Amino acid sequence: RRFQLVLIENGKPNAFVSGDGSTIKTGLVVLITASLVDLGMPREQLLAIIAHELEHAIGLHVVSSVADGLQRFYAAGATDEPLGFEQDDDLTVRTFALDWIEYARNAGHLSDVELGGLPLEGDLGDAFQAIVEQRGCTSTLEPLHAAIKARSNPLDRSVSIDAATASQIVTVMNKLRTDCFAGEQDDAIELVADHFDVGASSVRGSLSAEYRAGIEGKDFITGIDHWVKLDRAALREIEQGYAQAIGQPWSRLRYFSTEEAADDSSVYTMRAGGFVADTLGRILPSLSKVEAECRPLVDGNDLAIPYGEDLTDDHHGTCWRAGHVKRIAQRATPRMIAPAFVPSIDRPKRLFPRRDDRISH
């Protein structure tokens, strides 16, 4: 089959492949936005990005069962950074990670208690933003979002919330309650279910009594605040439980993913083409606008490069990826990925439906 490269006029700088999970098929096609080409990067850097995407297509990474089967979860030591494709899957690490990911998909990856019940990301964050927009109240949220962004770490997407910002969160939530949702009859379960076009009764039935007690019959802001606070508390409990069980902090949890596999593959593709093997790692930080913060860590072979706090994102932290690609390029022998043993673990059913299509980028 002949490989095809498709240029898309609209969209931010990006490249991706798409497939149909129901038929377990993907096209040998890489889609690339014109805005990425317009950045004017050297040819070899664009080729490295395309090589990454080709691995997604050839490896059927857009098929959920393939992507899930490729994953392996493990703990990095305090002073080492193992290569993911060489690791065995650790059932204990997997259990903690997947439990955490389910809560994070709902409430976002930030578990900081200082954030209170402010929805920022995840399904609840998406619904909250849309519901607030419908009532014309985004101007109330925008200064708060800007304040939180100013206190975020671009290398790992963590935040450091000070007392003033924590107080601002409380003030904004109270203002939304009185100015935007006064007289609203539906509770948070009903409004969020309506946003995702699912039955409120099914969402209500999936929540524990502890959740329902703080949501049912309460105003929207009180309910969503309670919902997110409980989810964030669950995230913190999992993080603490992991540290006690494994003997390493949560920040040392790792998992091999399709994105990491595609990064690895780009090294061997570029080397075979006569290019610098770690070209992808040299362009990623600048694309994500973290070059100044990241490059000294990569050049210094720093094993403490932040992995990225959002484990729902298979890419991992951009700077960590750059350092990882460099370490792969320094290997004298090609990688050999052994089949992963994937334990059968019953996962909690996601409250809100996933999209049928899957995209890897």
148 half-sphere exposure, CB direction, 13 A CA radius: 22
Lowest mean pLDDT among 66-80, 194-208, 249-263, 332-346: 332-346
Contact of 99 with 91, CB cutoff 8 Å: no
Residue 329 token pair: 């390029």
The predicted pLDDT at position 234 comes to 97
Distance, in Å, from the CA atom of 67 to the CA atom of 73, rounded to the nearest integer, reads: 13
Distance, in Å, from the CA atom of 1 to the CA atom of 235, rounded to the nearest integer, reads: 45
Distance, in Å, from the CA atom of 140 to the CA atom of 129, rounded to the nearest integer, reads: 11
Residue 108 token pair: 């976002």
The predicted pLDDT at position 45 comes to 96
User: Residue written as tokens 């595609």?
Assistant: 262
Mean per-residue pLDDT over the chain, rounded:
90
Over range 73-86, report the average pLDDT.
92
Contact of 307 with 254, CB cutoff 8 Å: yes
Question: Which residues touch 136 (CB under 8 Å, ≥6 apart)?
Answer: 180
Give percent of the chain above pLDDT 90.
78
Extended beta strands in the chain, E state: 4-8, 15-20, 25-26, 29-33, 72-75, 152-153, 158-159, 253-256, 358-360
The predicted pLDDT at position 337 comes to 53
| Banded pLDDT at 356 (limits 50, 70, 90) | very low
Over range 258-282, report the average pLDDT.
96
Phi-psi category of 264—alpha, beta or left, where left has phi over 0 and alpha has psi -120 to 50?
Answer: alpha
Beta-bridged to residue 44, according to DSSP, are: none
Strands 358-360 and 152-153: unpaired
List the Cα angle 157/43/48 in 5-degree steps.
50
Q: Which residue has the higher pLDDT, 272 or 66?
A: 272
Distance, in Å, from the CA atom of 184 to the CA atom of 192, rounded to the nearest integer, reads: 13
Q: What residue segments make up the domains of the chain, in order of their start? A: 4-95+251-360, 102-246
Distance, in Å, from the CA atom of 287 to the CA atom of 304, rounded to the nearest integer, reads: 21
The predicted pLDDT at position 357 comes to 44
| Confidence check: pLDDT of 343 > 50 | no
| Confidence check: pLDDT of 107 > 80 | yes
Cα dihedral 196, 202, 207, 212 in deg (nearest 10):
90
| Banded pLDDT at 224 (limits 50, 70, 90) | very high
Contact of 26 with 57, CB cutoff 8 Å: yes
Distance, in Å, from the CA atom of 13 to the CA atom of 188, rounded to the nearest integer, reads: 36
Give backbone dihedrals phi and psi of 31, rounded to 5 degrees, phi first.
-100, 135
The predicted pLDDT at position 236 comes to 98
The predicted pLDDT at position 65 comes to 80
Q: Please give the C-alpha separations between residue 153 and each of 76, 148, 161, 267, 317, in angstroms, as whole numbers.
A: 22, 10, 11, 28, 11
Q: Where are the alpha helices (DSSP H) in 108-219?
A: 122-134, 138-150, 163-179, 188-196, 200-206, 209-213
pLDDT in tens, 20-62: 656 666 778 899 999 999 999 999 999 999 999 999 888 888 7
The predicted pLDDT at position 147 comes to 97
